[in-house]
Structure 1
Amino acid sequence: MNDEIVGQITKCLLLLEVQHDNKDVLHVRHTNGTVLQFGIKEFAIVTGLKCKGNATDFSYPESTPSRLLQRHFPDSTACITKSCLIQHFVMGNWDTTQDAVQMTILYFINTFMLCHLGETSIKIEEFLMVEDSTYELYPWERLHSIS
């Protein structure tokens, strides 16, 4: 499946997300009204992402710039918050298909996998992992270990 279709499907699913108290499960309302539930294991099966491994292998030099940050948040002098990311994601003004897919992945990581609160700062490592595709290798079972 090409990246554009995957990005569109993922964005549609995430926009149908049902708010609930259990942060370990993603709830998505299907068009027939049924609520679908995805835990981390189902997520790993569907996406092919890893759930086990060494999280300390995923670090970047402190001065590494993020293309996504520079392109989509050029006026930001401080950290980007989850609420700022969500606002930008919902607007959906992407320069390229690659940006759309990467921002969708970043949105998914921060709203489901890391369950960040609205004003929690998003670490630059999260942007960089999405940009260089190492998020595919990150052991997501260690959700709070990104450093």
Structure 2
Amino acid sequence: MTPRKKRTTPIKTYERRIRTQRQREEELENTNLKKSIEEEGEHEIDVSSTNVERDDRAVEEEQNDIAIPEKETSPIVELSPLSPSPDNFIAKSIRYANYNLESMIDRYPNLRGSLTVKSELRKFSKFRKILEEQKLVKFFRSSIFGNYLQLEGTRIRFQMSLVYQLLRRQIYCHRKEEIWINYSGMPICFGMKEFAIITGLNCHNEDVYDVENMSTKTKMRRKEILEVVGRSCKRNELIEHLQTKNLSKDVKKSLCLLYFLHSFLCPKDVNTNIPKKWILLSADRKAFSAYPWGRISYDITIKHLLKAVKTIDGKTTNLYGFPWAFMVNFILV
């Protein structure tokens, strides 16, 4: 019996044809390339002046056909060179050369003064000891301020001279809720967005507190706190109440949150009373956690940072709030 011939499928025949066609095209290209090289070697190319002029005209016509983009013009700023919001400032590039970045040091070169920080983080270890004595470390760590326990033991110091020199380079700007610094010819912003990123605090708008739907447990706790601290209370009095043995654990939890607020995040003078609203909010854990303490702290901070270099006579200025965030913002630039 004669062996059968293998059938070739139409796909295989098609592939074979393509391969042969490609081989022929490659051979043809190689032969044409060899011919062109030989012709260039034998004959010199003479270019006449008319051909040169014709080529120049062709180039000019091509350039005229191409649409040349118009030069970008910087936005006209009437009130301030820094009117764009921080979000737009980060997303879009701005031509700083066209802006007037006059800072306070340009207008008052002999500006002198000193600063005093009321938020003393070096005393945080003392607060940590009280939490350990009263067995409140676990509660405080689970609160909205729990991340600040990591600061305990760090040798962090407030750089007074650095902050003051930065404030001297403050740019005149109509946006009073922000600070813009001329940092080596480039404007750098310190606003609520930067404050929220650094501190991790809630900086949203304040929600309306619903007193009517308050639970009976919260009402009882609020009554108990008011009996202890009264309508007004100072910072040192909070420490005394925290170390009292007769107080319940719930009241001490509220007091430790108030002390942290009044001593580190929103500090004022020692003899300043804690706002009654804060005392009442501390009784409701959920409402206290949802409250925008970041916005409260930022408003106090920015208000006193803007006032810090207003005095030209070399007086000492108190920095209330949490100016540590301002310092960290420019250390990380």
Provide the TM-score with structure 1 as the length reference.
0.55
Provide the residue aligned with 1:67 in structure 2. 224
**Aligned ranges 1:26-45 → 2 under 5 Å:** 28-30=151-153, 34-35=154-155, 41=197, 43-44=199-200
Equivalent residue for 1:142, pick from 295, 299, 302: 295
- With over 3 angstroms needed to count, the CA separation of the structure-2 counterparts of 1:109 and 1:130, relative to structure 1, is same
CA RMSD after TM alignment: 3.9
| 1:122 equivalent in alignment to 2:274 | yes
Does the aligned pair in 2 maintain the 1:27–1:35 contact within 8 Å?
no
Does the aligned pair in 1 maintain the 2:206–2:292 contact within 8 Å?
yes
CA distance in 2, matches of 1:43, 1:68: 28
- With over 3 angstroms needed to count, the CA separation of the structure-2 counterparts of 1:138 and 1:129, relative to structure 1, is same
Q: How far is 1:113 from its partner?
A: 1.8
Provide the residue aligned with 2:238 in structure 1. 85
CA distance in 2, matches of 1:41, 1:128: 28
CA distance in 1, matches of 2:232, 2:254: 18
Provide the residue aligned with 1:108 in structure 2. 260
Q: How far is 1:122 from its partner?
A: 1.1
Does the aligned pair in 1 maintain the 2:196–2:202 contact within 8 Å?
no
CA distance in 1, matches of 2:203, 2:270: 25
Q: How far is 1:131 from its partner?
A: 0.3
- With over 3 angstroms needed to count, the CA separation of the structure-2 counterparts of 1:125 and 1:85, relative to structure 1, is same
- How many correspondences in the alignment? 113
Provide the TM-score with structure 2 as the length reference.
0.28
Q: How far is 1:132 from its partner?
A: 1.1
- With over 3 angstroms needed to count, the CA separation of the structure-2 counterparts of 1:84 and 1:68, relative to structure 1, is same
Q: How far is 1:130 from its partner?
A: 0.9
For the residue of structure 1 that corresponds to 2:269, the secondary structure is coil
CA distance in 1, matches of 2:269, 2:196: 19
Does the aligned pair in 2 maintain the 1:81–1:119 contact within 8 Å?
yes
Larger RCO: 1 or 2 (CA < 8 Å, sep 6+): 1
- With over 3 angstroms needed to count, the CA separation of the structure-2 counterparts of 1:42 and 1:100, relative to structure 1, is farther
Matched residues, percent identical?
18
CA distance in 2, matches of 1:83, 1:4: 18
Q: From the two aligned structures, give the one with the greater helix fraction.
A: 2
Q: Deviations over 1:54-96 (max 9, x none)?
A: 26x35879xx9643121x23xx5x621223223323x243532
Does the aligned pair in 2 maintain the 1:7–1:104 contact within 8 Å?
no
Provide the residue aligned with 2:248 in structure 1. 96
